[in-house]
């Protein structure tokens, strides 16, 4: 089952750009409540005093699953999106592999530990 499942995930990863094309075609923006501070300012007429400070607290290495410019052509963004998908899966695999190592009991069978 495992091999088939990872193939399924790889296909999903290749299809992820659908998630940037569809919003583009239907002229849809960010998720509700996930806007940048400038958009919030436009909406309510002022910049909440602590918002900007906290919003800039951390800069992710691959912001918005895109390592090109925000204004890069859609095709480039799509490639970045796919690479991000595989990067995400890769990190998850590494992490869970580590988790597996930690959670595995050192002596699987009590018999072998007593006979040695």
Partner 1 sequence: MHIPDGYLSPQTYLPLYGGFAVIAAVAVAKLKRTVDTRLVPYVGMAAAFSFLIMMFNIPIPGGTTGHAVGGGIIAILFGPWVAFVALSIALIIQALVFGDGGITAIGANCFNMGFVMPLVAWYVYRIIAGTNASTRRQMIAVFVAAWLSLNVAALFTAVELGIQPLVAAGPDGNPLYAPYPLKITIPAMMGEHLLLFGIVEGLVSVLIFRYFAKYHPDIIAARHK
| Distance separating alpha carbons of residues 83 and 20, to the nearest angstrom | 14
Residue 15 or 74 with smaller CB distance to partner 1: 15
> What's 65's DSSP letter?
G
Residue 50 or 109 with smaller CB distance to partner 1: 50
Site residues (vs partner 1, CB under 8 A): 1-2, 5-6, 9, 12-13, 15-16, 18-20, 22-23, 25-34, 37, 40, 44, 46, 48-65, 81, 84-85, 87-89, 91-93, 95-97, 99-100, 103-105
In the three-class reduction of DSSP (H, G, I as helix; E, B as strand; rest coil), residue 87 is classed as helix
CB of 115 to partner 1, least distance (A): 22
Any alpha helices (H) in 34-108, and if so which ranges?
37-44, 51-55, 74-103
CB of 82 to partner 1, least distance (A): 10
| Distance separating alpha carbons of residues 7 and 96, to the nearest angstrom | 18
CB of 90 to partner 1, least distance (A): 9
């Amino acid at each position: 089952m495992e091999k088939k499942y990872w193939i399924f995930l790889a296909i999903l990863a290749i299809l992820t750009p659908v998630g940037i094309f569809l919003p583009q075609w239907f002229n849809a923006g960010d998720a509700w409540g996930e806007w940048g501070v400038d958009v919030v300012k436009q909406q309510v007429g002022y910049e909440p005093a602590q918002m900007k400070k906290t919003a800039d607290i951390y800069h992710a290495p691959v912001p918005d699953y895109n390592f090109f410019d925000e204004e890069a052509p859609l095709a480039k963004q799509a490639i970045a999106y796919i690479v991000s998908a595989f990067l995400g899966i890769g990190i998850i695999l590494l992490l869970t592999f580590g988790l597996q190592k930690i959670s595995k009991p050192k002596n699987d069978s009590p018999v072998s530990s007593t006979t040695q």
